[in-house]
Amino acid sequence: MLYRNSPRPRAAFRLVAALMFAVVVAPLAPARQTTQKLVVPEVERLRAHVTYLASARLEGRRTGTQGAKDAADYVAAQFMMLGLRPGFPGLMNVGGEAHKMERSRSFLQNFPYVVGVELGKGNEMRYRTEAQPLASDAGVSLRVGHDWMPLGFSANASLREVPFYFVGYGITAAEQNHDDYKDLNVAGAVAVALSGTPDGDNPHGRFTRAGEVRFKAAAARAAGARALVLIASEEDFGREPLARLSYENAGGDAGLAVVVVSRRVAAEYLGLNVAEAEKAARTRTQAAADPQAAALRQFRPNGTLDINVEVRRKNAPGINVVGMLEGSDPKLRHEYIVIGAHYDHLGRGGRGSLATREGEIHHGADDNASGTAALLELARLLAADRERLRRGVIFIAFGGEEEGLLGSNYYVNHPAVPLEQTVAMLNLDMVGRLRSGALSVSGIGTAAEWREWVERHNAGWKVELKAGEGKTTGEAAGDGGKGEAAAAPTNAQAAGMQDSTAAKVIVTGADGRTVATAHAAPRFNLRLNEDGFGPSDHASFYAKKVPVLFFFTGSHEDYHRPTDTADRINYEGLASIAAFVRDLVGQVQASDARPTFKLARAAATARSTGFRVYLGTIPSYGDSTDGLKLDGVREGSPAEKAGLRAGDVIVRLAGRDVRNVYDYTQALSQMKADEEYEVEVVRAGRRQSHRITPAARRQ
Ligand SMILES: [Zn+2]
Written as one string, the DSSP assignment of 98-143 is: EEEEEEEEESEEEE--EEEEEE-S--EEEEEETTS-SSTT-SEEEP
Reduced to 3 states, what is the DSSP secondary structure of residue 158? strand
Backbone angles phi, psi at 520, to 5 degrees: -60, 130
The residue count for the chain: 699
Q: How far is the CA of 564 from the centre of ligand 1 (A)?
A: 11
Between CA 502 and CA 120 the distance in angstroms is: 75
Residues in Cβ contact with 286 at an 8 Å cutoff, skipping those fewer than 6 apart: none
Mean pLDDT of 623-638: 78
Cα pseudo-dihedral 641, 645, 648, 651, rounded to 10? 20
Residue 458 C-alpha from the chain's centroid:
26
Best mean pLDDT range from 37-41, 288-292, 521-525: 521-525
Averaged over 513-540, what is the pLDDT?
Answer: 89
Quote the pLDDT of residue 444.
96
Confidence of residue 495 (pLDDT cuts 50, 70, 90): very low
pLDDT band (50, 70, 90) for residue 8:
very low
Residue type, 395: F
Distance in Å, CA 550 to ligand 1 centroid:
14
CA of 522 to the centre of ligand 1 (A): 29
As a whole number of angstroms, the distance between CA 554 and CA 440 comes to 7
Q: Reduced to 3 DSSP states, what percent helix, strand and coil does the chain have, rounded to the nearest 5? A: 25, 25, 45
pLDDT band (50, 70, 90) for residue 441: very high
Pick the more confident residue, 278 or 606. 278
Q: Which residues pair with 530 in a beta bridge?
A: none
Q: State in Å: Cα 146 to ligand 1 middle.
A: 34
pLDDT of residue 425: 98
Cα 331 to ligand 1 centroid, rounded to whole Å? 39
How far, in Å, CA of 607 to CA of 598, rounded? Answer: 22
CA of 252 relative to ligand 1 center, distance in Å: 21
Give burial (CB, 10 Å; 0-12/13-18/19+) of 48.
Answer: middle
pLDDT at 497 over 50: no
**How far does the centroid of ligand 1 lie from the alpha carbon of residue 430, in Å?**
8
- The Å distance, Cα 367 to ligand 1 centre, comes to 5
For the beta carbon of residue 498, count every other beta carbon within 10 angstroms: 13
If one compares 683 and 3, the residue with the highest pLDDT of the two is 683
351 C-alpha to center of ligand 1: Å? 11
- Residue 611 Cα to ligand 1 midpoint, Å, equals 26
Q: Which of 648, 650, 676 is nearest to 663 (CA)?
A: 650
Q: What is the mean pLDDT of residues 27-33?
A: 38
Beta-bridge partners for 517 = 464, 506
pLDDT band at 128 (very low <50, low <70, confident <90, very high): confident
pLDDT of residue 36: 55
Q: Cα(677) to centroid of ligand 1, in Å? A: 37
Mean pLDDT of 488-503: 38
Cβ atoms within 10 Å of 466's Cβ, excluding its own: 18
pLDDT tens across 386-412, in order? 999 999 999 999 999 998 899 999 999
pLDDT of residue 291: 43
Q: Please, are residues 534 and 542 in contact by the beta-carbon 8 Å criterion?
A: no
Task: Quick: pLDDT tens for 576-585.
Answer: 999 999 999 9
Instruction: Measure 345 CA to ligand 1 centroid, in angstroms.
Output: 6
- For residues 40 and 586, give the distance between their C-alpha atoms in angstroms, rounded to a whole number: 14
Backbone angles phi, psi at 557, to 5 degrees: -75, -10
Pairing of strands 97-106, 88-94: antiparallel
Q: Which of 679, 669, 678 lies closest to 648 in space, CA to CA? A: 679
- Judge whether residue 415 has pLDDT over 90: yes
- pLDDT score of 472: 43
How far is 620 from 650, CA to CA, in rounded Å? Answer: 11
DSSP-assigned beta bridge partners for residue 319: 110
Residue 265, pLDDT above cutoff 60: yes
Q: Ligand 1: distance of its center to the CA of 586 in Å? A: 28
Query: What is the CB-side half-sphere exposure of residue 538 using CA atoms within 13 A?
Result: 26
Residues paired with 550 in a beta bridge: 427, 442
Separation of alpha carbons 596 and 300, rounded Å: 63
CB within 8 Å of 250: residues ≥ 6 apart: 403, 404, 405, 406, 621, 622, 623, 661
Q: How far is the centre of ligand 1, averaged over its atoms, from the C-alpha of 588 (Å)?
A: 28
- Helix spans in 291-362 (H): 291-297
pLDDT class for 477, splitting at 50, 70, 90? very low
The closest alpha carbon to 609, from 511, 698, 507, belongs to 698
671 vs 41: which has the higher pLDDT: 41
What is the pLDDT at residue 2?
29
Structure confidence by residue, pLDDT tens digits, 165-204: 888 899 988 777 788 888 888 999 999 999 988 777 665 6
CA 194/CA 281 separation, integer angstroms:
9
The C-alpha atoms of residue 358 and residue 351 are separated, in whole angstroms, by 10
Cα 249 to ligand 1 centroid, rounded to whole Å: 16
Coil, strand or helix: which one is 54?
A: coil
| Band (149; pLDDT cuts 50, 70, 90) | very high
- pLDDT at residue number 420: 96
Per-residue pLDDT at 135: 58
> Would you place residue 133 in the very low, low, confident or very high pLDDT band (cuts 50, 70, 90)?
low
List, edge to edge, every strand of the sheet that includes 190-194: 140-142, 124-129, 303-309, 157-166, 190-194, 227-231, 257-261, 148-150
Q: What does the pLDDT read at residue 17?
A: 43
pTM beyond cutoff 0.75: no
Distance separating alpha carbons of residues 216 and 209, to the nearest angstrom? 10
Cα distances (Å, whole numbers) of residue 130 to 124, 139, 226, 507: 19, 9, 20, 97
- The SS3 call for residue 536 is coil
- pLDDT tier for residue 104 given thresholds of 50, 70 and 90: confident
For residue 365, give the 3-state DSSP assignment. Answer: helix
More reliable by pLDDT, 173 or 5: 173
- 402 alpha carbon to ligand 1 midpoint, in Å? 5
Rounded Cα gap, residues 324 and 159, in angstroms: 53
Contact 489, 17 (CB under 8 A): yes
Lowest mean pLDDT among 20-34, 74-88, 141-155, 370-384: 20-34
Q: Could you tell me the distance, in angstroms and rounded to a whole number, from the CA of residue 342 to the centre of ligand 1?
A: 9
pLDDT at 537 over 90: yes
Per DSSP, 503 falls in state: T
Residue 212 clears pLDDT 80, i.e. is over it: yes
What separation in Å is there between the alpha carbon of 613 and the centre of ligand 1?
29
Q: How confident is the model at residue 666 (pLDDT cuts 50, 70, 90)?
A: confident
Alpha-carbon gap, residue 550 to 338, rounded angstroms = 12
pLDDT band at 12 (very low <50, low <70, confident <90, very high): very low
pLDDT of residue 486: 30
Confidence of residue 11 (pLDDT cuts 50, 70, 90): very low
CA of 52 to the centre of ligand 1 (A): 18
Higher pLDDT: 99 or 307? It is 307
Q: By the 8 A CB rule, do 440 and 527 touch?
A: yes
Q: What is the mean pLDDT of the chain?
A: 82
Q: Is 418 helix (H, G, I), strand (E, B) or coil?
A: coil
Strand, helix or coil for residue 602 = coil
User: Is 90 exceeded by the pLDDT of residue 6?
Assistant: no
- Residue 164 CA to residue 605 CA, distance in Å, equals 43
What spacing in Å lies between the alpha carbon of 243 and ligand 1's midpoint?
25
Q: Is the pLDDT of residue 615 over 80?
A: yes
Over residues 519-523, the mean pLDDT reads: 86
Contact between residue 42 and residue 377 where contact means Cβ atoms under 8 Å apart: yes
pLDDT reading at 482 higher than 50: no
Whole-number Å distance, alpha carbon 403 to ligand 1 midpoint, is: 9
pLDDT of residue 178: 82
pLDDT of 300 > 70? The answer is no
What is the C-alpha separation between 321 and 80, in angstroms, rounded? 11
Amino acid 103: pLDDT? 64
Beta strand 392-398 with 336-342: parallel, antiparallel or unpaired? parallel
